[in-house]
Amino acid sequence: MKPAPFDYVQVTSVAEALDALAADPDQSKLLAGGQSLVPMMNFRLARPAVLIDINRADELNGVARDGGRLRIGATTRHLQLQNLGGDDALSSLLRRAAVHIGHLPIRTVGTFGGSLAHCDAASEWCLVARLLDAEISTASRERGVRTIAAENFFQSLFTTAMLPDEMLTAVALPLLDDQHHAGFVEFARRAGDFAIVSAAVLVRTVDGVIRTARVCLGGVSSVPFRSSAAEAVLLGQPWSEDGCAARVSAAAADAAATEVAPTGDMHGSEDFRRDLVRALVPRALAQAADSTRNRMRSR
Amino acid sequence: MACAQTTPTVESTKSQASQAWVGRTIPRVEDPPLLCGQGTFVADIAAGDNCLYAAFIRSSVASGRLVSVTAPPGVHLVVAADLTAKPIRPLLLRPEYVPIDMPILADEVVRFVGEPVAAVFGRTQAEAEDAAEQVQVEIDRLPAVVSVADALADGAPLVHPVHFPTDPNVAIDARRETDGFHAAMKAADRRISIQVSCGRQSAMPMEARASHVSIDRSTGRITLTTTAQMPHVIRTGLCDSLGIPEDQLRVVVPDVGGAFGAKQPLAREDVVLIHVARQLGRSVAWIETREENFLAAWHSREQVYQLTGGFSTDGTLLCLQSEITSDVGAYSCYPVTFGVEALMAMNELPGPYACPEYSGHSRAILTNKCPVAPYRGVARPVLTMAMERLMEVAAAELGLGRVEIRLKNVVKEYPHRQATGFVIDPSSHVEALEQAVAATDFDAHARRKEEAAKHGRLLGIGMSVFSESSGFGTSAFAERKMAITPGYEKVQMSFDPSGNVVLRIGASPHGQGLRTTLSQIVADELGVDPSRVRVIHSDTDATPYGWGTFASRSLVIAGGASKLAGAKLREQIKAIAASMLECDARDIRLRDGNAEVTGTSVRVSIDEIARLAHHNSQLLPEGLDVGLDATATYDPKGTFSNSVHVAEVEVDPATGQTTILRYLVIEDAGVMVNPQIVEGQIRGGVAQGIGNALYEELLYDERGVLTTTSLLDFLPPTMAEVPTIEIQHLETISDFTVTGAKGVGEGGTMGAPAAILNAINDALASTGGAVTHVPATPQRVREAIRQAQRGKEESA
């Protein structure tokens, strides 16, 4: 349970980080919060020769509005997002997702960018990024700056579109106006565990009718899964203060549960994961309605 | 008022002592250093010493022939051939017991994933792990026995090439039957059968195992500092294996981060450490990793129970038949053997119920998995679950209330001799049941359940009733036919010249608060403040021979011995005081640190008496030895505490998730020396029982590879999953122990799985589903609901 030997480099800027990374991209790893990387090193599942600590690169940390987007720096801690102010649908979605990430000590250290770069199938942030069509910015000495859409970013388990010499610098999420209703729920065995299945929904309604719908599921494939079948069920359906009709959310859940092709493992069989999809999609939709209602009331 | 002339007996003690300290919650003396980070654990000792660290290379194959173990030059590699130590051979003197040798390191054959095959060493743990990565192990894979079904199949490979008297791979095949069993079963109005099973579990102490070995330069004596529960006993096992006299080895146990039975057995790794430390003449440590702890530090519980009860139509249990299989893994544990679960399972049925006729059959079956050892509760969490499931099913089938059938069958007259020979001493089964029912409004739960059902919510309530065997002495263990027969405890008590009491005990507390509780008992005997009593334990050089701490025994047995020693010492103090105060010893009483003449203000402090006994022995009354010391041994037959647990749960029908809404324990521990410590034992035990009921399971794949090797996969409940545990006490004073105290170390784990499983099945009743395996994971609950739905659809 002790890591293999490695060299440690601390940088204070993106430029320094990219220089360090360029020296030996295949043998180097960036250290952000370390909440996944360090345990993997202790198990010797990861054995980078060089660890480049980017925690002192202040430009990577923070959340800012940037036109119609929210720009989240790579080393922004989960807890910063959990404590994000604002009564808009995006802020409340981020808060609701953040509370599920591990335990408080993990959330004080673990980072948003690290979570996306790690690309765990159970990651809350990967699901949110996919739900919102996040734009992910990367940088490298050789390739310069790239912006990658979430759809293309998450490729398979622990594998993203980033190349070894690239680092994730920031993520842009679209701001959500009051036509949007978002919900995030997940099922884990114990508080703070990795989700077995998670569900995130986003609907945009105009005059009480669902005009766009997004249903994204975690834990049913190696990367966040977008259920077009469930979305098709929701499109054009009425949306009231209580959300959509129970019949509609059940149909959307059924469609999603039929569409997914989960792989069973010791944490959940294929059948059980489908059961959870069926259970969680309606709860995510109900939460989306609840959260809008609470928002309107508090105004 | 003159006291009667006393010899130190229990009666005199009761009238003499004001019982000022026993019964009081005083803060645990153990806590301040632990809470302030000033505890000393094995790894702390290693860190302060320039020692080598060991890393063990373990088999990645469940069954195979070891072809070669090699390492590049520069790596200090130790393999079986380098050792001269004998294998470990735990013994039961029973005809059906098959003795199995456990080599120190796997030699020629590997028998489970995690079995140690070699050790390497480095100046740090990281260096040792670096060295371990350079070791090449070649193993020819052989077919593995991964389950009981595999083990019993025709032509199954043998886990050990020994003669099995009944079936292959069956290491224990035990039966017992009362003469009238068959007639009773034949005559019963109804025969009701159930099956329950429990997954494999880890005791999972927060601190994994750890050992540090140092060699005294001048004498060559060895000191093993380790996380053991039985320091004196493992010294015997280690010395037998190493072929050295016991005087050469000192075993010391510092602070321990939880043990729960998993640190009771002799660790084969310790033999390697001692061998290497002696060879190199330098200290060697091994700090077990969590992964190793899961792989190789003893498992428990994997059992299946089939019970058939013969009932009369009014619900009276007339007879019981049990068929029990325990998957015990690949080796036997020293000293208690792999009979521990199988035999306790058979012998402690039918728990708290009077049942005149019994037939039991219990088998311990070898598999290519990690060996099992005791874990808090040993067999009883599962046998309680089996018995309580039988009561639930019988109540439903006979149309009786769940409380009614239990009230009808619990033991009511004491002492009561069970069909298996156990004698249940005065207890409070009926009162505990009635109190539990009243406290939870048990009978009104049906209404709460109905109301919730209207909103699609599934509520359930369940209970468990049980007796907890504790404080068993030599006679009880002798019946188990253990070659090494534990039981008694001996204590040595003395005053130092300043008037402080030193109590040396053979028990080896590691979290139970025994230093606190024993000081309370002694304080009452000697009329001193508990802070004046220091308890010395867990060091074979400094304590009388004893059996350590396990099986809910230490407070009962070491506590009893402390009380007896205190009574002897009290008479010595009184004799000296009488001589100093020129009165009759019968008129002296000890109180608040003084020996005083009853009814007067004439007194002398115990401090002065202690000083006189050491420094002015010429003034001692004739016939008294110098100093103030006494030795006492206590060896009781055993006593049963008793409990009722009630769990109220909500089951989410969509996800299968169970939430515990309320948890109540009615506990009768007899005299509680320190109520807070009793409640701590119960709460900790219930938390582990909740783990057993809902969360924790060790899983092997079809090749015999353990897949749950980290805390991502093996899920003990956290604070978020453990509800408030309400506790109410009853106090039945049993004369089976000298202090009136009964053991309560394991009851929490014993009652929780049964109560929770019954509550879940009560919640699931409307779905038609039932769960009979723990942990009752959400997936299993969903499967039960889905299966019931399919059944309904098919029959529709």
Query: Token pair 């979605």 is at which residue?
Result: A93
Between A270-298 and A89-98, two packed helices, what is the crossing angle to 10 degrees?
140
Given an 8 Å threshold on Cβ–Cβ distance, is A190 in contact with B699? no
In 10 A of CB B484, how many CB atoms? 17
How far is it, in rounded angstroms, from Cα B634 to Cα B739? Answer: 11
Query: Token pair 């324990």 is at which residue?
Result: B665
Residue B758: what pLDDT? 98
Residue A89: what pLDDT? 94
pLDDT single digits (tens) B587-607: 999 999 999 999 999 999 999
Distance from CA of B698 to the nearest CA of A (A): 10
Contacts of A1 in chain B (CB under 8 A): 125, 129, 289-291
How far is it, in rounded angstroms, from Cα B266 to Cα A222? Answer: 44
Given an 8 Å threshold on Cβ–Cβ distance, is B289 in contact with A1? yes
Coil/strand/helix, residue B760: helix
How far is it, in rounded angstroms, from Cα B764 to Cα A40? Answer: 40
Query: Token pair 């000296």 is at which residue?
Result: B576
Distance from CA of A172 to the nearest CA of B (A): 31
Residues in chain B: 796
DSSP assignment of A157-212 = TTEES--TT-EEEEEEEE---TTEEEEEEEE-SSTTSPPSEEEEEEEEEETTEEEE
User: Is it the case that residue B222 has pLDDT exceeding 50?
Assistant: yes
- Percent of the residues in chain B that have a pLDDT greater than 70, as a whole number: 98
Given an 8 Å threshold on Cβ–Cβ distance, is B655 in contact with A187? yes
ipTM of the complex as predicted: 0.95
- Degrees to nearest 5, angle at CA B693 with B689 and B694: 120
pLDDT single digits (tens) B189-217: 999 999 999 999 999 999 999 999 999 99
In 10 A of CB B501, how many CB atoms? 27
User: Is it the case that residue B740 has pLDDT exceeding 80?
Assistant: yes
pLDDT single digits (tens) B533-568: 999 999 999 999 999 999 999 999 999 999 999 999
Residue B6: what pLDDT? 35
- Degrees to nearest 5, angle at CA B524 with B632 and B571: 55
Per-residue DSSP letter, B565: H
Tell me what the pLDDT averaged over chain A comes to: 96
Residue B13: what pLDDT? 39
Q: Which residues face B252 on adjacent strands? A: B225, B539
How far is it, in rounded angstroms, from Cα B364 to Cα B376? Answer: 19
User: Is it the case that residue B4 has pLDDT exceeding 50?
Assistant: no
Look up the pTM and report it.
Answer: 0.96
Q: Report the helix count and the strand count for chain B, using DSSP H and E.
A: 21, 29
With beta carbons less than 8 A apart as the criterion, state whether B395 and B404 touch.
Answer: yes
User: Is it the case that residue A296 has pLDDT exceeding 90?
Assistant: no
Which domains does chain B carry? 13-39+488-634 (3.30.365.10), 51-142+208-256+263-296 (3.90.1170.50), 303-474+637-795 (3.30.365.10)
Amino acid letter for position A287: Q
Residues in chain A: 299
pLDDT single digits (tens) A197-233: 999 999 999 999 999 999 999 999 999 999 999 999 9
Query: A184-193, B3-12, B552-561, B617-626: which has the minimum mean pLDDT?
Result: B3-12
Residue B61: what pLDDT? 97
pLDDT single digits (tens) A14-46: 999 999 999 999 999 999 999 999 999 999 999
The pairing of strands B725-730 and B658-668 is: parallel
Determine phi and psi for A136, rounding to 5 degrees: -110, 125
Cα distances (Å, whole numbers) of residue A259 to A269, A276, A277, B137, B289: 16, 13, 10, 46, 42
Expressed in angstroms, the distance from the first to the final Cα of chain B is: 85
How far is it, in rounded angstroms, from Cα B471 to Cα A47? Answer: 51
With beta carbons less than 8 A apart as the criterion, state whether B719 and A103 touch.
Answer: no
B interface mutation test: which of A40, A44, A266, A273 has the most B CBs within 10 A? A266
How far is it, in rounded angstroms, from Cα B414 to Cα B431? Answer: 14
Among the listed residues A131, A184, A134, the one whose alpha carbon sits nearest the alpha carbon of residue A161: A134
Residues 6+ apart with CB under 8 A from A196: A122, A187, A188, A189, A219, A267, A268, A272, A273, A276
Q: What pLDDT band is residue B7 in, cutting at 50, 70 and 90?
A: very low
How far is it, in rounded angstroms, from Cα A241 to Cα B50? Answer: 69
Query: Token pair 């224990």 is at which residue?
Result: B172
Query: Token pair 């022939």 is at which residue?
Result: B65
DSSP assignment of chain A = --PPP-EEEE-SSHHHHHHHHHHSGGGEEEESS-TTHHHHHHTTS---SEEEE-TT-GGG--EEEETTEEEEETT-BHHHHHT----SHHHHHHHHHHTTSS-HHHHHH-BHHHHHHHT-TT-HHHHHHHHTT-EEEEEETTTEEEEEEHHHHEEETTEES--TT-EEEEEEEE---TTEEEEEEEE-SSTTSPPSEEEEEEEEEETTEEEEEEEEEESSSSS-EE-HHHHHHHTT-B-BTTBS-HHHHHHHHHHHHHH--PPPBTTB-HHHHHHHHHHHHHHHHHHHHHHHHHHHHH-
Contacts of A269 in chain B (CB under 8 A): 779
Cα distances (Å, whole numbers) of residue B667 to B208, B284, B672, B732: 31, 45, 11, 10
Residue B211: what pLDDT? 98
Distance from CA of A293 to the nearest CA of B (A): 22
Distance from CA of A115 to the nearest CA of B (A): 17
Cis peptide before B530 (omega within 30 of 0): no
Ordered alpha helix ranges (H), B175-330: 181-187, 231-242, 268-280, 290-296
Among the listed residues B227, B319, B311, the one whose alpha carbon sits nearest the alpha carbon of residue B273: B227
How far is it, in rounded angstroms, from Cα B764 to Cα B784? Answer: 9
Tell me the longest C-alpha to C-alpha distance in chain B: 97
Among the listed residues B386, B309, B209, the one whose alpha carbon sits nearest the alpha carbon of residue B753: B386
B695 in reach of chain A (CB within 8 A): yes
Given an 8 Å threshold on Cβ–Cβ distance, is B695 in contact with A189? yes
Coil/strand/helix, residue B16: helix
Tell me what the pLDDT averaged over chain B comes to: 95
Residue B15: what pLDDT? 39
Facing A272 at nearest CB: one of B290, B720, B782: B782
In 10 A of CB B64, how many CB atoms? 22
Facing A279 at nearest CB: one of B654, B713, B777: B654
Q: Give B 636-675 residues with CB within 8 A of chain A.
A: 652, 654-657
pLDDT single digits (tens) B268-326: 999 999 999 999 999 999 999 999 999 999 999 999 999 999 999 999 999 999 999 99
How far is it, in rounded angstroms, from Cα B528 to Cα B178? Answer: 52
Mean pLDDT of B145-162: 96
Q: What pLDDT band is residue B12 in, cutting at 50, 70 and 90?
A: very low
In 10 A of CB B44, how many CB atoms? 15
Nearest CA in chain A to B655: A276
Facing B708 at nearest CB: one of A190, A266, A276: A266
User: Is it the case that residue B3 has pLDDT exceeding 50?
Assistant: no
B447 exposure class (CB count in 10 Å sphere: 0-12, 13-18, 19+): exposed
Contacts of B657 in chain A (CB under 8 A): 187
Among the listed residues B432, B380, B429, B368, the one whose alpha carbon sits nearest the alpha carbon of residue B701: B368
The pairing of strands B533-536 and B588-591 is: unpaired
How far is it, in rounded angstroms, from Cα B309 to Cα B386? Answer: 11
Amino acid letter for position B291: E
Q: Which helix (H) or strand (E) holds B211?
A: strand B210-215
pLDDT single digits (tens) B64-102: 999 999 999 999 999 999 999 999 999 999 888 889 999
How far is it, in rounded angstroms, from Cα A152 to Cα B581? Answer: 95
pLDDT single digits (tens) A229-247: 999 999 999 999 999 999 9
Residue A297: what pLDDT? 84
Q: What pLDDT band is residue A255 in, cutting at 50, 70 and 90?
A: very high
Residue B98: what pLDDT? 87
Contacts of A189 in chain B (CB under 8 A): 695, 715, 777-778
Contacts of B652 in chain A (CB under 8 A): 279
Per-residue DSSP letter, B167: S
pLDDT single digits (tens) B613-646: 999 999 999 989 999 999 999 999 999 999 999 9
Residues 6+ apart with CB under 8 A from B450: none
Mean pLDDT of A53-62: 97
Between B747-764 and B380-398, two packed helices, what is the crossing angle to 10 degrees?
30
**Would you state the structure tokens that stand for residue B224, as one six-digit string?**
């093993």
Coil/strand/helix, residue B353: strand
Residue A87: what pLDDT? 87
